[in-house]
Amino acid sequence: MVRFKNRYITVEIMASDIPELKPLSLKSKIFHDTVLNKIQQLHGDFGSAAVRTGFLTKYCNENTRIAIIRVRHGPHHFVTSALPFITKIGKLDIRLKTLHVSATLKHSFKFIQKHQRAYLDKMWSKLKTEEEQKMLEAAVMDFTKTDVAINIENIS
């Protein structure tokens, strides 16, 4: 039996048109298809075929604008090389920034937790009431939009 290694690519979606506090209207299926189309455009049939097996968008948070892509080890280089060339998802003008590449989903979530905690610290100074701060924290630290159920408290 052969064990397949995966890589989890954590990506930040930056949209200059939409303010930071407003969530993006972005579905993981549209994001997934856009990445595959760009890989097809840049790397042709070979790159597309290599990536398709095991390619999945595991997590896409519209509030924090962070997504996690799962791809097999090896063809993950096709994905990481194609991400900077994606400038439009649906009708949104965006830029993608690769934040982290890890071997496990657990390490990706650890990285996201640290990244989002820093984001919260930066955004809390802009909010006026404590209620707004709690609502922002609930939205940012929401990891339930994943296909895999992971208890975040056990990670720390």
Q: What is the pLDDT of residue 155?
A: 33
In SS3 terms, 47-83 reads as HHHHHHCCCEEEEEECCCCEEEEEEECCCHHHHHHHH
Residue 140 maps to a domain: yes
Residue pointed to by tokens 């060339």: 85
Residue 60: strand pairing partners: 67
Query: What is the count of structural domains for the chain?
Result: 1
152 vs 110: CA distance, rounded Å? 8
Nearest-Å Rg of the Cα atoms of the chain is 16
- Written as six digits, the tokens of 79 are 């994905």
Residue 1 maps to a domain: no
Q: Once rounded to an integer, what is the mean pLDDT over residues 126-141?
A: 74
pTM greater than 0.75 (yes/no): yes
Q: Once rounded to an integer, what is the mean pLDDT over residues 76-87?
A: 95
CATH code, domain carrying 15:
3.30.70.3250
Q: What is the pLDDT of residue 22?
A: 81
